[in-house]
Structure 1
Amino acid sequence: MKVGIAYDLPRWEEKNLIEEIKKEGHEPVPFYSKQAIFYSDKQVNLDADFFIQRNVSHSRALMTSFLIENQGYPVFNDHMTLIKCENKAFTTFILSRADIKTPRTAIAMDKEGAIAAATEIGYPIVMKPIEGSWGRMVAKAIDDDTLRSYMEYQEFTSMYYKSMYYVQEFVKKPDRDIRIFAIGDEAPVGIYRVNSKNWRTNTALGAKAEPLKIDPELRELALKVKEKIGGFFLGVDIFEDRERGYIIDEVNGVPEFKNTVRVTGFNVSKYLITKLSEWYKK
């Protein structure tokens, strides 16, 4: 089995995947996306049976998944899954309409609409870029004045959706959130991400990973999210609300897992390769 790895930055995860592919008796095919060229009128021989999408850049991940699929190669995750994951508005509204609990959210097309939405939802609110990761530019607004400042800042960035505003309720969770990995037809491992110094619980912002025992409700929820979003390998981020229970925050289509392996000892790469091998044999 020849396993392609589409990447733009060789992190620990990509190196570990290549190592585990070799250990399992398969051949890794690294594909450095930054130097790739695709032509509309030519077939590109990529010399792999399928690809695992590992680009850090959202736009590069989306484009290379699409282009590799267009050449006839399966990609995990495919471009449609990435669209639904990396656009927070798509994720939230798809899951909400599927009766999966999410924070109450509004998408406003102008600043006054965002103020009106924040007033209806109730301060404090969280304002997020529609596309982004690692907690960057995620801000808590406590009143109209604060929200206007954040919107003005967003307006002068280079973000694609800079004139649209993602306004979300502030969920009063513990000093942590949950990351569950959905791989194939299972949710085999997860972690708590704990941050007592910042309400944002991204590990990129200092949160500490701690082991988590997945209960049946978490497993069922993660797999239900995967059913609605699609894909083969997802990182599902979950809040704990005292009154409503588990609430889906976001879904990552190219999840990092170094910290999960470190604190749980679970071999994510090996499990992913095993599940992909099962898929390939079918």
Structure 2
Amino acid sequence: MSDRPGRRPRPVGILLSTVRYEERRLLDELERRGIPAVRLDPRTLSFAPRDAERLVGMRVLNREISSQRAALTAESLEAFGAYPVNGATASRVCGNKWSTYVRLRQLGIPTPTTLLAPSPEAGREAIETVGYPAVVKPLSSSWGNRVSLITDRYAADAVLEHCAALPSAVTRTVIVQEAVRPGAPDIRGIVVDGVCVGVIVRAGGDWRNNVARGATVEQHPPDEEIQRLCVRAAAAVGARIAGVDLVEGADGHHLVLEVNSRVEFQGFERATGVDVAARIVEACVSEPTDVKVPV
């Protein structure tokens, strides 16, 4: 998106219901560039005529914390003529761990063996198939919530019985994934418009290595294989902006665990010195690019 010299920059929307470090950084960057920011709260957007008129042609940074609201609102924004970054497809796919796995698998991107388990019976069979230890994950979660490391049949029964008691078919459905070196450090790369802007290593906390659970973060040395995998994974889910989580397998090659379309980057910025907020805003105000999976 370009503006002629002397003309006021067009407003940029930012879709959010909670302002965290990342959203403050993005708002500050928009202000620094003199770009008016329009806050859009997905909890109150009804897409009435007064909403629709101002949305036509607007670029919108999708920073909604709820995966369901992020995907639903992105779809609605596109239908009413706005341009959410990331778009509805990326928001929907990244908001569902099984959908993410399917996309990665279809495009030949290495990822741990993953099985769908819509019932406790299917879950027990899936765990027996991948073997112990196994990881059980809900279709949608952040910060490692409801992610369990299953080391024996008793733990499997307890977790699957809990899932079976949840109120909807979606929350009762889980994925079962092979545990790749649980407790070992994992890796996150951030991709913006087809470029991996940096990579970090997360370690400590508990076996999930989430910063929210106390993991430490440091910069990862440059690695072409990791950077290439991050770019391919982001493109696979259609994301212009993505956080890609990987783990090193026993053979030394890397596997993609998850792709996040609304990536948190506080620890990343501190570890790498990369101004992620500036990169994201630049992507938002620039002309859209086709997201293609590199070979």
Runs of 4+ with deviation above 6 angstroms: none
Flag structure 1 segments of 5+ consecutive residues without an equivalent.
Answer: none
Matched, 1:129 2:138: yes
In 2, Cα distance between the equivalents of 1:132 and 1:58? Answer: 8
Is 1:181–1:233's contact at 8 Å kept on the other side of the alignment? yes
C-alpha change, 1:47 and 1:13, in structure 2 (3 Å) is farther
Superposed, 1:141-180 pairs within 5 Å as 141-158=150-167, 161-172=170-181, 175-180=184-189
| 2:172 partner SS | coil
Q: 1:81 offset after TM fit, Å? A: 0.7
In 2, Cα distance between the equivalents of 1:281 and 1:144? Answer: 48
Deviations 1:115-156 (A, max 9, x none): 122112111111111111110010011122211110111122
In 2, Cα distance between the equivalents of 1:97 and 1:276? Answer: 28
Residue in 1 aligned with 2:45?
A: 36
Deviations 1:236-257 (A, max 9, x none): 0001113151100001111111
Q: Indicate which of 139, 143, 148 corresponds to 1:139.
A: 148
Residue in 1 aligned with 2:192?
A: 183
Matched, 1:229 2:215: no
Matched, 1:275 2:260: no
Superposed, 1:31-180 pairs within 5 Å as 31-39=40-48, 43-46=52-55, 49-158=58-167, 161-172=170-181, 175-180=184-189
Q: 1:203 offset after TM fit, Å? A: 1.0
Superposed, 1:4-43 pairs within 5 Å as 4-39=13-48, 43=52
Q: CA RMSD in A?
A: 2.2
Deviations 1:209-235 (A, max 9, x none): 211233111111111112211021101
Bigger drift between 175-184 and 35-44 goes to: 35-44
In 1, Cα distance between the equivalents of 2:190 and 2:168? Answer: 28
Flag structure 2 segments of 5+ consecutive residues without an equivalent.
Answer: 1-9, 291-295
Amino acid of the residue matched to residue 207 of structure 1? A
Residue in 2 aligned with 1:239?
A: 247
TM-score with structure 2 length normalisation? 0.88
Is 2:193–2:289's contact at 8 Å kept on the other side of the alignment? no
Amino acid of the residue matched to residue 221 of structure 1? L
Identity %: 27
Deviations 1:58-108 (A, max 9, x none): 111112111111110110111111111110011112111211111111112
| 1:219 partner SS | helix
TM-score with structure 1 length normalisation? 0.92
Amino acid of the residue matched to residue 157 of structure 1? L
In 2, Cα distance between the equivalents of 1:222 and 1:139? Answer: 25
In 2, Cα distance between the equivalents of 1:97 and 1:120? Answer: 21
